[in-house]
Amino acid sequence: MTDVWIVVAVVGVVTVLFKAAGPVFLGRRALPPRIKSVVELLAPVMLTALVVTQTVGGDGELSLDARIPGVAAAAVAVWRRVPLVGAMAVAAVVTALVRALA
């Protein structure tokens, strides 16, 4: 319980400061170009790590299971420009079906 609240508090304060960075702290100054290109890569990099962990992550090991066909089907859905919630539904249904059949 306490751990959860520490995460909520720290992430909350840091996010408030990030969003205020331009309007309150930096004003019209631009970020240095190299810092900007590093910062802009953080979101895709972290999202990739989350996709990998959520697809093949296990308890301290790689675990290849029914999530893989589910996520693969969702990848096709995303590629075909199916909206976020549709892609999530595709992944859930395919994975649940594979689990039920296994």
Partner 1 sequence: MRENGQGLRVRDGVRAALPLAPGPLLFGLSFGVLADAAGMGVVAATVMSATTFAGSAQFGAVTVLDAGGTLVAAIAAAVFLNARYIAISVTVASIFPGGRARRLVESQLIVDESWALAGRSGRFEWPILVGSGLFLYVLWVVSTALGTVLGGALGDPNGLGLDAAFAALFLALLAPYLRNRRAVQAAALAAVITLVLTPVAPAGVPIVAAAAACLLGLKR
AA letter at 46: M
Nearest approach in angstroms of CB 40 to partner 1 is 6
Other CB atoms closer than 10 Å to residue 80's CB: what's the count?
9
Nearest approach in angstroms of CB 10 to partner 1 is 5
Q: Which class for 6: exposed (0-12), middle (13-18), buried (19 or more C-beta within 10 A)? A: exposed
Residue ranges in 1-20 that form contacts with partner 1 under rule CB under 8 A: 1, 3-8, 10-12, 14-16, 18-20
Residue span 56-75 as binding mask against partner 1, x where in contact by CB under 8 A, dash where not: xxxxxxx---xx--xx--xx
Quick one: tokens of 87?
């892609």
Nearest approach in angstroms of CB 76 to partner 1 is 11
Q: Which class for 74: exposed (0-12), middle (13-18), buried (19 or more C-beta within 10 A)? A: buried
Q: Binding to partner 1 by residue 76, rule CB under 8 A? A: no
Residue ranges in 17-56 that form contacts with partner 1 under rule CB under 8 A: 18-24, 26-31, 34, 36-56
